[in-house]
Amino acid sequence: MAAEIVLELRAVERHYEQGQRKLTILNGVDFTLSKGEMVALVAPSGTGKSTLLHTAGLLERPDGGDVILGGRACGRLSDDDRTAIRRNDIGFVYQFHHLLPEFSAVENIMMPQMVKGLRADEARARAMQLLDYMQIAKRADHRPAELSGGEQQRVAIARAVANAPLVLLADEPTGNLDPTTAHYVFDALSALVRQSGLAALIATHNHDLAARMDRRVTISDGHVVPL
Ligand code: ADP
Ligand code: MG
């Protein structure tokens, strides 16, 4: 049996108005991501990687086509419905961690779970498990400013998967890290994806990391094509 498709982009279009001109970034993107799969998105700056990830992650609406998550067409849902789906089914990791500075590592990972309705003790237990898995349990009570760049990104990844999403979308998650740290963070990320049966689409400029994923795609003329 073929692996279950968790994310599908169907003829997705994204255009920006640039003064009088219409700038076409995504021009009918077809793409599927299956459970358990890790896919690298490798393309030069300005080709639309972030646009693609934001659209797939329901942070932006497609101008045409649709985004189907877990079998559900999401492009035309209300903002409230899209927010709920983002909270439950999508984990997003940015190049910069975006952790809340006044909260500790463990609290940052508890937050999305409590927003979803978990009790604090349940959320803390799960957060500690994730920190342990990412091998930074000792840093649980540190605030983001008291963590190294690699540790910050590991916390951000743990936070992104705290609610056991269907899909993990990462926009150059190791882009700010030195090569050695990038490899450690990627090791932790891929172990998590493998262990949880998540699916991940990861934009990266790092060809070594891309080579370690299941397949590689790029953006060419507004389409996603194999690399
Ligand atoms: P990448 O992540 O691959 O560097 P982006 O998706 O950020 O690319 O951007 C793709 C193109 O779309 C770029 O040329 C960028 O300038 C343009 N763009 C992105 N966001 C906007 C916006 N809000 N308004 C106008 N143009 C935008
Ligand atoms: Mg980008």
State how far the Cα of 220 lies from the Cα of 227, in Å rounded to an integer: 10
C-alpha of residue 53 to centroid of ligand 2, in Å: 9
pLDDT digits (tens, 9 = 90+) for 21-30: 999 999 999 9
Confidence at residue 194, expressed as pLDDT on a 0 to 100 scale: 87
pLDDT digits (tens, 9 = 90+) for 69-116: 999 999 999 999 999 999 999 999 999 989 999 999 999 999 999 999
C-alpha of residue 161 to centroid of ligand 2, in Å: 21
Look over the chain and give the mean of its residue pLDDT values, rounded to a whole number: 95
Task: Establish whether residue 14 lines the binding site of ligand 1, counting it when its CB lies within 6 angstroms of any ligand atom.
Answer: no
CB 155 within 8 A of CB 136: yes
CB 224 within 8 A of CB 9: yes
Confidence at residue 1, expressed as pLDDT on a 0 to 100 scale: 56
Structure tokens at 215: 């397949």
SS3 state of residue 75: coil
Atom of ligand 1 nearest to the CA of 47: 3
Atom of ligand 1 nearest to the CA of 16: 25
Task: Establish whether residue 25 lines the binding site of ligand 1, counting it when its CB lies within 6 angstroms of any ligand atom.
Answer: yes
- Say what the pTM is: 0.96
Confidence at residue 196, expressed as pLDDT on a 0 to 100 scale: 87
Confidence at residue 86, expressed as pLDDT on a 0 to 100 scale: 95
Q: Is the pLDDT of residue 148 over 80?
A: yes
pLDDT digits (tens, 9 = 90+) for 162-193: 999 999 999 999 999 999 999 999 999 999 98
Task: Establish whether residue 22 lines the binding site of ligand 1, counting it when its CB lies within 6 angstroms of any ligand atom.
Answer: no
Residue 78: alpha-carbon gap to chain centroid: 22
In the block, tokens 């690699």 appear at: 150
pLDDT digits (tens, 9 = 90+) for 51-60: 999 999 999 9
Surface-to-core class of residue 176, CB atoms within 10 Å of its CB (0-12 exposed, 13-18 middle, 19+ buried): middle
